Amino acid sequence: MTWGSDISLLVEGGKELGIELDAWSARDLEDERKRKDCINSFEHADVILLRLTTDKVWDEFIEELNKNVPIIPLGRNTFFRSLSNVSLDIVAKVNAYHVYGGAENLKNMLGYIGKEALGRDYTYEDPKETMWQGIYHPDAETAFASIDAYLQWYKPRSKHKVGIIFSRTLWANGDLEVINTLIHELEKEFDVFPAFCYGMGDVELGAKTSGEVIEEFFLGRLKLDALINLQSVFNAGTEEWSTNSLKELDVLVFHPLMAYYKTEEEWRGDSQGLSNLEVGLSVAMPEFEGIIEPIIIGVPRAVEEYGAEFERHVPINERVAKIVGRMKRWIVLKDKQKSERKVAFILHNTPCASVEATVGSAAHLDALESVARILKSMKEEGYSIPKRSQNTS
């Protein structure tokens, strides 16, 4: 049992090694029939590999685990580690394979488990550290460790530059169709600089935070016009560091969404759209950081290979085109002289009361005075503010 992002590479590695895998994701376990099938699979398993979450649904499975076979947990949660019945050395090495990620590491992880935990005749190589952060492009043979190396290959040709920051997990697991589609759509208008990272970072592993990756790749001579953040939360280590990183970057930050719990059909058919969890993590929290345009561009889709079903993210093409069109208009607005920009103020007005009494009302706030002060500041910044008419007729 693991997260859906792991399953495709595990299934592929198992096929190469001749290992039969029953793989289940957290999403699978929402289905009652699949939950029963998963529990039944414990009875004939030779080894159980677990990557659990704190969801209550896991309690049922923990009780049903077959304690007579090796149980190996993934992740750093100390409670889940306590479920293990193999040596700490095996747990540590299996987790090293998993954390480094990628097809070769996961295949060697399965070979290692077969040899060291089951005593079977498998071969394996030790875990190989892969890039924790880098610049990715679908047309390049490999990722780039520095912006200079990427620029030598990329040869910029457009007036405007857009950066993308996305999860290393997508890169390591090859779940890149949404990223690839977004890059190619953006390249119709802009030069694109897509960077992946480990999000929260990890000093011990050498993985940098989102803020450090922005400093390394996007500040300095590159001078971005906009940034796309495809992570749920922009994480620079601390709230202060996150704020300072975004201030120093000083560009619009867009946040198109990839759904994790609903297919396109489920999303379109649900009047609520995204789940409450995704609204909180992917819409509300980024808005606190001033990130804009939470337009959904990707959804999970079930894929079947080697007799196993798993999820990959696929783009919603018209939504990808929509976010790129929105970005183009924002960048055009950015390039306009302040005196040429048109700004609208929308004031609250209670429809069941007279206009004079309620226009611009706000709880314990003087909205009209606030607008007046904002207009004054805008004029000082170079916006064209027409003089108030003296005609009171």
Name the residue type at position 205.
L
Residue 325 has pLDDT above 90, yes or no: yes
Residue 393 has pLDDT above 50, yes or no: no
Q: Which of 97-101, 215-219, 310-314 has the lowest mean pLDDT?
A: 310-314
- Cα 40 from Cα 65, distance rounded (Å): 10
- Cα 308 from Cα 49, distance rounded (Å): 16
- Cα 43 from Cα 50, distance rounded (Å): 15
- Cα 53 from Cα 73, distance rounded (Å): 11
| Confidence grade of residue 64 (pLDDT, cut at 50, 70, 90) | confident
| Confidence grade of residue 390 (pLDDT, cut at 50, 70, 90) | low
SS3 call for 144: strand
Give the start-end residues of each E strand in 263-336.
Answer: 296-305, 308-315
Residue 330 has pLDDT above 70, yes or no: yes
- Cα 320 from Cα 178, distance rounded (Å): 9
Please say whether the structural domain 134-335 has been given the CATH code 1.10.287: no
Cβ-based neighbour number of residue 350 at 10 Å: 11
Name the residue type at position 12.
E
Query: Which letter does DSSP use for residue 209 in this model?
Result: P
Residue 35 has pLDDT above 70, yes or no: yes
Residue 56 has pLDDT above 70, yes or no: no
Over residues 315-322, mean pLDDT: 97
- Cα 274 from Cα 260, distance rounded (Å): 9
| Confidence grade of residue 337 (pLDDT, cut at 50, 70, 90) | very high
Given this model, what pLDDT does residue 113 score? 95
Q: Which of 33-42, 73-82, 120-129, 234-243 has the highest mean pLDDT?
A: 120-129
Percent of the chain that is helix, strand, coil (3-state, to 5): 45, 15, 45
- Cα 230 from Cα 143, distance rounded (Å): 18
Q: Are the C-beta atoms of 103 and 6 separated by less than 8 Å?
A: no
Residue 314 has pLDDT above 60, yes or no: yes
Name the residue type at position 61.
F
Question: Which residue ranges make up each domain of the chain?
Answer: 4-117, 134-335, 339-393
| Confidence grade of residue 222 (pLDDT, cut at 50, 70, 90) | confident
pLDDT tens column, 135-173: 999 999 999 999 999 999 998 999 999 999 999 999 998
Residue 277 has pLDDT above 70, yes or no: yes
Q: Is 293 exposed, middle or buried (0-12, 13-18, 19+ CB in 10 A)?
A: middle
Residue 237 has pLDDT above 60, yes or no: no
For residue 49, the surrounding DSSP H or E stretch is strand 48-50
| Confidence grade of residue 210 (pLDDT, cut at 50, 70, 90) | confident
Over residues 325-354, mean pLDDT: 89
Mean pLDDT of the chain: 86
Q: Using only C-alpha atoms, what is the Rg of the chain?
A: 25
The larger pLDDT score, comparing residue 143 to residue 291, is at 143
Give the start-end residues of each E strand in 144-189.
Answer: 161-167
Name the residue type at position 243.
T
Given this model, what pLDDT does residue 286 score? 81
Residue 328 has pLDDT above 80, yes or no: yes
